[in-house]
Amino acid sequence: MADTVTVAAAAKVNLALHIVGRRDDGFHLLESLVGFTEIADHITLTASDDISLDVSGPEQKALTDSDDNLIIRAARLVKDHVNGTRGAHFALEKHIPVAAGLGGGSADAAATVQGCETLWNITSTVPIEDATLAAGLGADVPVCRFGRAAWVWGIGERVIPAPSWPDLWMVLVNPGIPVSTAKVFQAFSGQLKKPEIQSGAGPTWSPSVDEFIEFLASRENSLTDAALSIAPVIAEVLAVISAAPDCLLARMSGSGPTCFGLFASESEAQTVAKALAGGKSEWWVRATRLVSPPDHEIH
């Protein structure tokens, strides 16, 4: 039985996100094509009598080790699920910006669930359902636990694999302003989109770069206007990315404020990232590969 386990929590990107309805309890129904990047937080779990957390890394300043941290909440959810008595100390190395639309907290929670299952040798219990994770921890947790590109729908608890897409690189840009997901959803007043996922199957596309970009361009992020009403700087970020040489598509991820541009090659993405970082020192800018399914498992 392991005394120490290390897990990675990869940043996710919403390549498209449509709001398709609203439940009686106020939760919005969505459909989203989610991909993952090679940017990740890292969590080391060490066997302990209780549950505790230390945070380090370049994005630690926006987090605390309080009981409200998603890692603590996820660990307690797993422990309660199995009526466990063991604990763990969590050392989080934070690289994903907080409240950025990249699912950093959800990725940490999903990785924590996996790490606890390994550290505590949980093999014979009933798995925690995605609906439980979505309701208790957040809508992005199920797809982050799924760990590969996917179509997501419902309130985030329903996940199916996405078809392969061509090799692409992206430049992620965050203007350094945290944006509350709840406030963005509250501000949403746009038209509902027609649902596309039927009987557990989502839309498909051609594997060519041009046709995949054409497919994405025919869709949108329904939350963009709502996020702009809260953080107008998003418009500047999108404009700068769109104007970058060789940018194939620019869009906001999740509830923002992080936006991305897609590029056909690593060299194009790296060149643009370097130029943007040099021009806006207060912005968080990274070039990364958009992981293509099914060639990579996040966890």
Instruction: Give the domains, in start order, of the chain with CATH numbers.
Output: 4-158 (3.30.230.10), 162-290 (3.30.70.890)
Q: Which residue has the tokens 């302003």?
A: 177
pLDDT digits (tens, 9 = 90+) for 137-193: 988 999 999 989 999 999 999 999 999 999 999 999 999 999 999 999 999 999 999
pLDDT digits (tens, 9 = 90+) for 25-78: 888 999 999 999 999 999 999 999 999 999 999 998 877 667 779 999 999 999
**pLDDT at residue 68, as a whole number:** 79
pLDDT digits (tens, 9 = 90+) for 195-218: 999 878 899 998 899 999 999 999
* 219-240: b (≥16 Cβ within 10 Å) or e: bbbbbbbbbbebbeebeebbeb
- Structure-token pair, residue 229: 């009403």
**pLDDT at residue 198, as a whole number:** 82
Q: What's the CA gap between 108 and 43, in Å, rounded?
A: 8
Q: What is the pTM (predicted TM-score) of this model?
A: 0.93
Q: Give the active site residues.
A: 12, 140
Instruction: Specify whether the CB–CB gap between 175 and 237 falls below 8 A.
Output: yes
Residues ≥6 apart with Cβ < 8 Å to 61: none
- If you ran DSSP here, which 8-state letter would residue 139 be given? T
- Structure-token pair, residue 198: 């039927």
pLDDT digits (tens, 9 = 90+) for 235-250: 999 999 999 999 999 9
CA of residue 97 relative to chain centroid, distance: 11
